Amino acid sequence: MTITEVRNRTTVTKFILLGFSDLPKLRVILFSTFLGIYLMTVFWNLGLITLIKMDAHLHTPMYYFLNKLAFLDICYVSSTIPKMLSDFFQEQKVISFVGCAVQYFFFSSFGLTESCLLVSMAYGRYAAICSPLLYTAIMSPTLCLQLFIGSCITGSFGSFIQLCGLLQLQFCGPNVINHFFCDLPQLLNLSCSDTFFLQVITSVMTVIYALTSVLVIMVSYGYIVATILKMSSAEGRSKAFNTCASHLTSVTFFYGSSSFVYLCPSSDDSLSESKLASVIYTLVIPLLNPLIYSLRNKEIKDALIRSKKRIFS
């Protein structure tokens, strides 16, 4: 198709999100399930934020980052799920191009910021285990704040670059997105203009944010494991492993599910699997994070006990 033919075609200003319309009989069940998960996600993460704020014993670098992770999870899940829930009972699941771009910008920003924050948390684990005597000096409040602000700026900048590329694309039809939110791979498939430049940008972003983040985390945990194995106390080794296990579990879930969507080639046969993986990293992981970091955490359990005593005393 020539450039003239593309320009003569009708410009798409709205998109139709198919969501889970291929499962009409399960609409009420899916809506109830996703609504319940969303409300629990917001409630549990807000509860964790409140607990960390209220208990002075949790005012440490590790829980500072956990506090910020819980806040990001609330923002992250709220960038896509409310729209998906409202679409369940809409005959036409319509979203404007501007709305689509804005939704992707915030979704991508919070996702990239969380990726950077997980790296900061890995560095915090490294400092705590490999340099315990200098931990407080290394992870000072100023550095913690700088790492969080840096994560936010880096995540927003990466998303802004992709947004600028997205706004340069032309959409001439079709306008049907086989997903429950506006994600970049689906938008690239619908564009009638050349997407090579944006695909290159996306690949570079993937290398910078995903592969580099995973590499830094792996190197950090390489030093951590080496340090733990040198410990003479079995109790100390067990405590150190338990401290790292929650973060490693969160990292594995986050990068594992997102890599399946963005690194695996898309096809009609993989759309259902991709949609399921998207549900996992957009909804399930923000729900699991407060549980992952709390269930085997003695300090969190002790803080809950102290909080109950203050409330009922």
- Please give the Cα distance from 308 to 95 (Å, whole number): 45
Residue 205 has pLDDT above 70, yes or no: yes
Long-range contacts of 7-11 (CB under 8 A, 24+ apart): 9/172, 9/173, 9/192, 10/172, 10/173, 11/170, 11/171, 11/172
Q: Quote the tokens at residue 125.
A: 């684990």
Reported as a pLDDT band with limits 50, 70 and 90, residue 12 is: confident
Task: Report the mean per-residue pLDDT for the chain.
Answer: 87
Residues 67 and 53: beta-carbon distance below 8 Å:
yes
Instruction: Examine residue 5 and state whether it is found in any structural domain, yes or no.
Output: no
Rounded to 10 deg, the angle between the 141-167 and 97-130 helix axes is 150
Distance from the first to the final alpha carbon of the chain: 75
Instruction: Examine residue 301 and state whether it is found in any structural domain, yes or no.
Output: yes
173/67: higher pLDDT: 67
Backbone angles phi, psi at 266, to 5 degrees: -85, 145
Percent of the chain with pLDDT over 90: 50
Match 């100390």 to its residue by tokens: 236
- How many domains does the structure of the chain reveal? 1
Contacts of 119 (CB under 8 A, 6+ apart): 151, 213, 216, 217
Q: What is the DSSP letter of 284?
A: I
Average confidence (pLDDT) over 99-108: 95
Instruction: Examine residue 2 and state whether it is found in any structural domain, yes or no.
Output: no
Instruction: Examine residue 178 and state whether it is found in any structural domain, yes or no.
Output: yes
Q: b/e string for 190-218 if b means 16 or more Cβ within 10 A?
A: bbbeebeebeebbeebeeebbeebbebbe
Instruction: Examine residue 38 and state whether it is found in any structural domain, yes or no.
Output: yes
Which domain CATH number covers 250? 1.20.1070.10
pLDDT digits (tens, 9 = 90+) for 115-140: 999 999 999 999 999 998 899 899 99
Instruction: Examine residue 1 and state whether it is found in any structural domain, yes or no.
Output: no
Instruction: Examine residue 3 and state whether it is found in any structural domain, yes or no.
Output: no
- The per-residue pLDDT for 10 is 55
Which residues form the domain of 297? 11-312
